[in-house]
Amino acid sequence: MAAMMNIAPIVSKIFCSPSQVVLVVRKRPNVVNGGGFVVTDCSQKVVFNVDGCGTLGTKGELILRDSDGEALLLIRRKGGIVQALSIHRQWKGYTLDYDGAQKLVFSLKEPNSCLVRNNSIKVAVGPRTCNKDWDFEIKGSFPDKACSILDSRGNIVGIKKEVDELMVSKDIYHVVVQASFDQAFVLGVIAVLDNIHNESTQC
């Protein structure tokens, strides 16, 4: 993992910890801000919130917020008619600057079928400036709470997994983020996967 220590933050350096972080995700009922989930650290302090589509009133739109409720990422699904041409639907995550302008942070290609549990999902960071069309890959099964986010070198940067057996609940799971990696980016990707698999952020 030493090769990952100098990686640049994707959303912000304030969400990068010098040590590995274990976050607890608790799904929220749909009646609260359109569903979504709350993310706490090991001391049970809220560090992120994800609001489902009820907040914006549009299906396929999510917001990742920090502990103060400030919007960090606006995440939208792009697609529609092009689906008929078997083109992948894409999710795009944006940050907003002080003037309200949107800056593209990441793009995620939705798999053609969520029924294939081990479908590999690719994530690209920012506008593309090289020939490679992805920077991260998601492997494993999100619904089974067993998937990993890997960088292009195969290093695991984030893992979604079940909680301890005594706490097993379909509404609670852990996300492990490796040292120096951007937790906000990982949770933004988790929010998209949650929606794709018809979980807490869906209308």
Query: Is residue 96 one of the residues assigned to a domain?
Result: yes
> How many domains, the chain?
1
- pLDDT tens, position by position, for the chain (203 residues)? 334 445 678 999 999 999 999 999 998 876 655 678 999 998 999 999 998 865 555 678 899 999 999 999 999 988 654 444 445 678 999 997 766 678 999 999 887 655 545 567 899 998 765 567 789 999 988 888 788 999 888 888 888 776 655 455 668 888 999 999 999 999 999 999 998 888 888 76
pLDDT of residue 79: 64
Q: How far is the CA of 51 from the CAs of 27, 34, 39, in angstroms?
A: 10, 6, 11
Query: Is residue 202 one of the residues assigned to a domain?
Result: no
Query: Is residue 2 one of the residues assigned to a domain?
Result: no
The CATH number of residue 66's host domain is 2.40.160.200
Query: Is residue 81 one of the residues assigned to a domain?
Result: yes
Query: Is residue 203 one of the residues assigned to a domain?
Result: no
Query: Is residue 201 one of the residues assigned to a domain?
Result: no
Distance from C-alpha of 13 to C-alpha of 184, rounded to nearest angstrom: 10
Please state the φ and ψ torsions of residue 80, each to the nearest 5 degrees. 110, -125
Q: Which residue do the tokens 């120096």 mark? A: 180
Query: Is residue 104 one of the residues assigned to a domain?
Result: yes
* Residue pLDDT, tens place only, 124-150: 998 765 567 789 999 988 888 788 999
Distance from C-alpha of 145 to C-alpha of 143, rounded to nearest angstrom: 5
Contacts of 95 (CB under 8 A, 6+ apart): 11, 72, 73, 74, 102, 103, 105
Domain containing 131 equals 17-196
Query: Is residue 40 one of the residues assigned to a domain?
Result: yes
